[in-house]
Structures are given as C-alpha cells and as structure tokens.
Amino acid sequence: MARPLMLYDADCGFCARTARRVPLLRVDVDIAAIQQTDLVAAGVDAGRAVREMPFVGADGVVAYGHRAWAGVLLTGPVPVRWVGRMLGSRAMAPVAGRVYRWVAEHRSSLPGGTPSCALDDA
C-alpha cells in the first residue's frame, strides 16, 4: 500500500506556505507539488488540481478540496483525526465546501498569496 499523498500548487505562494506548515500537524502523509508529480499515474485530474487541493489516499482514492483536507487530517494524531472526521462528515460538507471555495477563490489575497495564485490565471 502506498503512503497517502497531499498535493499542492507550487505556483501559488499561499498553497506552498500552507503545505510547508502541514507537518506541524504531525500527519502521516507525503507532500508534493502538482508540478512535480505524475498526476495521471496518481489518478489526479490536472485541471481540478489547480483549483482544489488533491489528496491521494493510501488506497489510491483521490479526494479534492475540503474532503482532501479531511483525508490529510485523518492521518494525524487523535485530536487532529477528530477534526478530520468532522470536516469530512456529511453534516459539515455544505459549510466546509463553501469555506474551501471561498479560500480558494481568495488565495491570492491571503497570507503568502500573490497575483499568480489567482484562479483566473489557471
């Protein structure tokens, strides 16, 4: 079984900054840039990957956006897993999806963001 893989957009300063901080959560995932990953081999939709963070689970199932974050968090220690379980729950899906979309749409103006982070450029 392969290790879980969190992918991020290295061309986006906000995404790269966030990816550098993920190990602080003590999650058990590999982290790689979409630009340096064979997305086809990983089963990741390249067009979607620049708009929503992809996560490839150990079982090969790909999740995007807030579900990807839930997958990442589910590999961490118990308190982090609880947050992941809540984030991935059906009850939270509508809110989590909207929050994720808002962050993605505004990532160019968030800490670390630059004009190249704007989704309009994707």
Tens of pLDDT, residues 55-75: 999 999 999 999 999 999 999
The pLDDT of residue 1: 60
Q: Is 48 exposed, middle or buried (0-12, 13-18, 19+ CB in 10 A)?
A: middle
Q: How confident is the model at residue 121 (pLDDT cuts 50, 70, 90)?
A: very low
Number of DSSP helices (H) and strands (E) in the chain, helices first: 6, 4
CB distance 93 to 69 below 8 Å? no
pLDDT at residue 122 is higher than 50 = no
- Enumerate the domain spans of the chain: 5-121
The pTM for the full model equals: 0.90
SS3 87: helix
Distance CA 101, CA 106 (A): 9
The amino acid present at 96, given as its one-letter code, is A
DSSP classification of residue 48: H
- What average pLDDT does this structure show over 106-121? 78
Instruction: Determine contact, residues 18/12, Cβ cutoff 8 Å.
Output: no
Residues 122 and 51 sit within 8 Å (Cβ to Cβ): yes
Mean of the pLDDT values across residues 39-51? 94
Distance CA 81, CA 79 (A): 5
